[in-house]
Structure 1
Amino acid sequence: MKWSEISIHTTQEAVEPVSHILHDAGAGGVVIEDRADYFRERESRYGEIFQLSADDYPETGVLIKAYLPESGMLEQTIGDICASVTKLKDYGVDIGANEVAVSEVDEEEWSTAWKKYYKPEKVGTRITVSPSWENYEPEQSDEVVVELDPGMAFGTGTHPTTVLCLQALEKRMVSGIHMMDVGTGSGVLAIAAAKLGASVVDAVDLDPVAVKAARENVQFNQTEQVVRVSESDLLSGAEGTYDLVTANILADIIVSMVPDAKRAVKPGGHLIVSGIIEKQRDQVRTALMEAGFVMVETTEMENWTAFTVQRPEED
């Protein structure tokens, strides 16, 4: 079977939204080639990338690659992808060079070769994210392993915005809590919460591709008794209030959902938001403070920011 590889030269800032656009267009997964990943110092051996050299990465920016089956609609699909990526500028996202290249590949060539790029990575004190085929064995008794298939949706769960969320989640997790994960994507946050002791996790996403992928990942991790995945627009499907709400989404969308988040978080509960680029950090912080949240923690990684805030007990 013939497939077309679409490669988009963009910025680190645009990785999440561009990946979302590609998945929405029908790509089964994305490959992210970022030169910073090769040279990044790692605190542990997890996440090391093998069989690579600096020449495998672009000199500047990030290459995002996806694969689409060849069909009579391919040209239109690629045109729609290009238009959607360009439109990200309207939301204040720097898309960089925005150069698009398309090439033909054989299914046999890429269907398994891409897996060599993904290895288990320890992203928190206890949390390790592992590709589902790795058969990773925990190295500590209380380690929580979230197994994902990067071919399903939204990468391996080790993008800085996701790592910041996972680390904040680990700090605020209390056994038995009720949690909502807004814009769940692959379901990595919801699965981690379930394995850390949450009793109920509502995971929602507007994208049906993400909902399907999250359900498959939830089932693979045997957390379906705790995690309920549904298609919903942000917090519109929230039932009652939650001890913890997480949202790893675009900054503009975080700002728009802050009033609903205030109503969805129990008094004394926490809200964790990530996906915030440096130039929108103050905008999001201001929206959270004006809504009455109290700042608990600000964390940063590779020019990305995550906020953990709390709704006051007396509110």
Structure 2
Amino acid sequence: MTWQQLICHTTVEHQEVISGALEEAGAASVTFEDAVDQPILEPLPGETPLWDQLVITGLYPAEDDLTALLLNLELHRGEWGITELKLEQLEDRPWVREWMDNFHPMQFGKRLWVYPSWREVPEEATDAVKILLDPGLAFGTGNHPTTALCLEWLDGENLTGKTVLDYGCGSGILAIAAAKLGASTIVATDIDPQALEATQENARRNALTEARIFTCLPEDMPDQTFDVVIANILSGPLVSLAPTILRYLKPQGRIALSGILADQGQAVAAAYQNRLEEVQMAAKEDWLRLEGTAQVSSN
């Protein structure tokens, strides 16, 4: 089947009316893309992650007549903030196969490999610690630099027999990595119930029992401290939740924080450094990871 796509550049305040018009015209799908490379990570539950400047694309069968839709959009161009509008014919290609080919086994550190179900870890990776993870709704597949920074850090830590907290677990990739690397007890928490479901489903797919990773909402967290705490969330919540996150860290426990843009590093460090020693920063592309060790006295 061949397709055509209608591409519309606009701003976030007009996304609802434009996407509604595309859907009413029979779009097989409507997608949103960032027009100016503005980063957005994990949205709050019920929110749609949208950028200030948007590219909205409607996908239609090639035989559909979109004249009326184009006229409607042209008529409202100024009112709906449309700065560019174009119709493209798409080459008949195996789209699903091309999408799947974009996801391949990825190595993090010396041992960790993350791979999708339709690919295999390279045979030469004889000592690999393997995590099966297909792209899904919950944030965290290893593709984003923040997730990569956290996986590399976990790979470099001695987790054997350690207790680990994954604060803001998303897909559960970090909790699963901790389990595969020998942690004895793992708790994964997130404000989004869908993330908790994704974590348990991904754990099952990695042959981990439900009891291996305990999942809960933050308000249901067990009253305990952990040898290792890792949080890959946004810098704003990292700052505001610093007292809460630090409360779960044992004296001399290890912590890693990510989801931090380069210009946000100082603010996050300031929220944690009075309770940590050996604080270090690592960078990947425009993102940072903060790591450190809890002081002997946590009071």
Q: Over alpha carbons, which structure has the higher Rg? A: 2
Where does residue 5 of structure 1 map in the other structure?
A: 30
What do the CA deviations read for 1:16-35 (whole angstroms, capped 9, x no partner)? 23xx47xx66xxxxxxxxxx
Paired with 1:250 and 1:287, the residues of 2 have a C-alpha distance of 14
User: TM-score normalised to the size of structure 1?
Assistant: 0.69
The residue matched to 1:14 in structure 2 has which SS? coil
Shift of 1:209: 1.8
> Which residue matches 2:234?
250
Q: CA deviation at 1:278?
A: 1.3
Give the conservation status (yes or no) of the 8 Å contact 2:252–2:294: yes
Which residue of structure 1 aligns with residue 55 of structure 2? 99
For residue 53 of structure 2, give the secondary structure of its aligned residue in structure 1.
coil
Alignment-mate amino acid for residue 274 of structure 1? S
Structure 1 residues 303, 105: closer, same or farther in 2, change over 3 A? farther
Is the alpha carbon distance of 1:10 and 1:306 closer, same or farther for their aligned partners in structure 2, counting shifts above 3 Å?
farther
Match of 1:90 in 2: none
Q: Deviations over 1:254-277 (max 9, x none)?
A: 011111122110011011100001
Residue 129 to residue 15, structure 1, CA distance change in 2 (3 Å)? farther
**SS state at 1:198 partner:** coil
Match of 1:275 among 249, 259, 263: 259
Match of 1:284 in 2: 268
Among candidates 165, 181, 185, match of residue 166 of structure 2: 181
The residue that corresponds to 1:200 in the other structure is 185
Distance 1:152 1:217 in 2: 12
Cα displacement (A) at 1:10: 4.6
Distance of 2:290 and 2:205 partners within structure 1: 30
Q: Counterpart of 1:224 in 2: which secondary structure?
A: coil
Aligned partner of 1:308: which letter?
A: E
Q: Is the 8 A contact 1:277 1:304 kept in 2?
A: yes
Give the 3 Å change call, closer, same or farther, for CA 110–232 of structure 1 in structure 2.
farther
The question of 1:125 aligning with 2:110 is answered: yes
- Aligned-pair identity in percent equals 33
- 219 and 16 in structure 1: CA distance in 2 versus 1, 3 angstrom threshold: same
In structure 2, runs of 5+ residues without a counterpart are 1-26, 63-92
Specify whether residues 104 and 123 from structure 1 end up closer, same or farther in structure 2 by C-alpha distance, changes over 3 A only. farther
Q: Secondary structure at the match of 2:138?
A: coil
Q: Supply the distance in 1 between the matched residues of 2:276 and 2:153 (Cα, whole angstroms).
A: 16
Which residue number corresponds to residue 191 of structure 1?
176
Paired residue secondary structure (2:120): coil
Q: RMSD between aligned alpha carbons?
A: 2.7
2:293 is aligned to 310
CA contact (8 A) 2:105 2:113 kept: yes
How many Å separate the matches in 1 of 2:195 and 2:178?
18
Separation of aligned partners in 2, 1:12 and 1:226: 40
Q: Is the 8 A contact 2:254 2:291 kept in 1?
A: yes
**1:7–1:102: 8 Å Cα contact kept in structure 2?**
no
Q: CA distance change for structure 1 residues 144 and 273 in 2, over 3 Å: closer, same or farther?
A: same
Cα distance in structure 1, aligned partners of 2:140 and 2:279: 29
Q: Which segment drifts farther, 185-194 or 133-142? A: 133-142
Deviation by residue 1:43-72 (Cα, 9 ceiling, x = unmatched) = xxxxxxxxxxxxxxxxxxxxxxxxxxxxxx
Kept in 1: contact 2:140–2:173 (CA 8 A): no
Moved over 6 A (4+): none
What is the rounded CA distance, in whole Å, between the counterparts of 1:255 and 1:5 in structure 2?
35
Report the Cα offset of residue 155 of structure 1. Answer: 5.3
- Which deviates further from its counterpart, 6-15 or 255-264? 6-15
What is the rounded CA distance, in whole Å, between the counterparts of 2:35 and 2:276 in structure 1?
A: 34
Residue 150 of structure 1 aligns to a residue in which SS? coil
Report the Cα offset of residue 112 of structure 1: 5.2
In the superposition, relative to structure 1, how do residues 192 and 116 fare at CA in structure 2: closer, same or farther (>3 Å)?
Answer: same
Q: Partners of 1:238 and 1:105 in 2: how far apart?
A: 52
Between Structure 1 and Structure 2, the one with more helix by share is 1
Residues 272 and 308, structure 1, Cα contact 8 Å, conserved in 2: yes
Q: Is 2:250 the counterpart of 1:294?
A: no
Which residues of 2 match residues 133-148 of structure 1 at below 5 A?
Answer: 133-148=118-133
**Kept after mapping to 1: 8 A contact 2:140/2:147:** no
Q: What is the CA-CA distance between 1:214 and the residue it aligns to?
A: 1.3
Deviation at 1:231, TM superposition (A): 3.6
Partner of 1:16: 41
Q: Deviations 1:207-229 (Å, cap 9, x if unpaired)?
A: 12222211111000012266324
The one-letter code matched in structure 2 to 1:248 is N
